[in-house]
Amino acid sequence: LVKGTGVCPKKPINMAWARSSVFGFVLLVLQVESFHVSFKPSMLRCAPLATTVSKRNPLSLYAQSISDLVKKVESASAKTKAPTKIFKSLKKTSGSPSISVEFLRPEKIPVHDTKSLSFEIRRSKVALLVVDTAVANGDQDFEGFVKEQQTAKGKFPGPVPLVWRGAIETIEDIAKAKAAGADGVSFAASSLGEEKTAVMVNACHVLGMEPLVEVGDANEINWAVSAGAKCLCVRFSSSAISSFLVSAAKSLQNDLPDDCAVIATVQGRQGGAEIEQAKSLLDANYNGVLFSRMLEDATDRFSEPYLKYIMAVMQSKKSQNLQINEIKPGQSGWGAGLGQPPPGWGSEQSHA
pLDDT over 70 at 119, yes or no: yes
Torsion over CA: 89, 92, 94, 97 (sign)? positive
Asked which of 5-19, 196-210, 243-257, 282-296 is least confident by mean pLDDT, the reply is 5-19
Are 197 and 227 in contact, with CB atoms under 8 Å apart? yes
Q: How far apart are CA 10 and CA 335, in angstroms?
A: 64
Q: What is the pLDDT of residue 18?
A: 45
pLDDT over 60 at 216, yes or no: yes
Close Cβ partners of 233 (under 8 Å, ≥ 6 residues apart)? 186, 212, 213, 214, 215, 262, 263, 264, 265, 290
Q: What is the pLDDT of residue 316?
A: 87
Q: How far apart are CA 324 and CA 340, in angstroms?
A: 18
pLDDT in tens, 273-304: 999 999 999 999 999 999 999 999 999 999 99
Q: What is the pLDDT of residue 78?
A: 73
Residue type, 236: F
Which pTM does this prediction carry?
0.75
pLDDT over 60 at 223, yes or no: yes
56: Cα within 13 Å, side-chain hemisphere: 7
Strand ranges for the chain from DSSP E: 37-40, 43-46, 98-103, 129-132, 162-165, 184-188, 210-215, 231-234, 261-267, 288-295
Mean pLDDT of the chain: 82
Q: What is the pLDDT of residue 82?
A: 85
